[in-house]
Amino acid sequence: MVKERDFWQDFKRKELLVTLIKNVRSVQDVIDGDGHSIYKSDWLIQQGFPEELVRGIEREFTSDYSSAKSTIFDGNGNMVHSMTGVSALQLHYEIAAWLLLEGGVDYNDTLTGRGFQAKELAQAIRKSVGMLDVR
């Protein structure tokens, strides 16, 4: 069954994010093409991201210690067993979705690396809000 969309709600969410991205430097800094970081949910909300957006993609990440790529480090560089937050890459995808961007149309959705995907999404996000020259 196809989920019915609320186009008015979609428009309001998009406008909220466009305003936020254009006016808050710390939000612009998060849309940087980083596909590896984990952001604290409360910090993202403090920066102005809608709680609905943040809580919808928040999850617990667990280290497996087999390599640096699969181990989680805190802000001080210490290894931690787990951390609850938002994946930078998932945040880029969620922002793109709220801005009604489409994979294969507005951005290349065939890239495999987290960094490549995040950079592609960041560029599409900045372009969609009229800030392509910011970075």
Q: pLDDT by residue (tens digit) across 20-51?
A: 999 999 999 999 989 999 999 999 999 999 99
What six digits make up the tokens of 43? Answer: 């910090």
Residue 62 lies in a domain: yes
pLDDT band at 135 (very low <50, low <70, confident <90, very high): very low
Residue 116 lies in a domain: yes
Query: Whole-model pTM?
Result: 0.88
Residue 65 lies in a domain: yes
pLDDT over 70 at 107, yes or no: yes
Sheet architecture: strand order including 38-39? 38-39, 82-87, 59-62
pLDDT above 70 covers what percent of the chain? 93
Query: Which residues form the domain of 28?
Result: 7-130
Please state the domain count of the chain. Answer: 1
Residue 76 lies in a domain: yes
